[in-house]
Amino acid sequence: MIKRKKFSRVVPDEIKVKELKIEDVTCGATKCSEGFHCYSKKKTALRKFGQERVCKECGADLIDWKRVHKNDINDSDFVFEELKTEIIRHVFWHNPIQVDALIGTYLRGKEATRGTAFKLLKARIGKYNNFIDGRQTPMGKEELINYAQHATATCCRQCLEAWHNIDMEKPLTDKELDFCIDLVMKYIETRVSDLKNEPVDELTAKKMANEHH
């Protein structure tokens, strides 16, 4: 099979969004004809359309930013539906999770997974780093938290600022970091609804992962 390059702009007409895999997309990908836009590239949108939070390809202004930017974890269902209108978020919400990522999460349990999320998010997005921003969170692979960060726009400071209105160049406050972790855990709890608070043994983890997959 020929490996195709990642789509950083418009996905070709012959490829449907439902066919896209994680390895096919970047945060700049769009398929406006199917209702999937890109709101994370504020500078591009501003240059082309004179507004920051419109689709950088077609100028669509479809997000209820006032509601999203309240950063209310109790309104996460609404926020997630808005996020899914970007291709990269949609792909991370709808593509299968690798078995190894599921096994690792079952082995940790929900409580320890939150602890791991705290460590990873603090290291990755706690402070702005211009040299690596946009590349600090791997694209899925064997860690479920990676999936969750991309799905919830907590993967880099650029996406965090665009979607959650958190100043890119300022260190995260404890409250902001907790909100990001809450989003990540909401994603994990939604996609892996049988995750237990406590860890399970390896045999059980493998069985649960294969049944889930």
| pLDDT tens for each residue of 52-99 | 999 999 999 999 999 999 999 999 999 999 999 999 999 999 999 999
pLDDT < 50 regions, the chain: 1-2
Reading the block at residue 104, the tokens are 């690792």
Tally Cβ neighbours within 10 Å of residue 79: 24
pLDDT of residue 2: 46
pLDDT of residue 131: 87
pLDDT of residue 4: 63
pLDDT of residue 49: 95
Distance CA 9, CA 13 (A): 12
pLDDT of residue 3: 53
Please give the radius of gyration of the chain, using alpha carbons only, rounded to the nearest integer.
17
Tally Cβ neighbours within 10 Å of residue 128: 18
Residue 87 zone, left/alpha/beta (φ > 0; ψ -120 to 50; rest): alpha
Amino acid at 200: V
Domain boundaries, given as residue ranges, for the chain: 17-92, 96-212
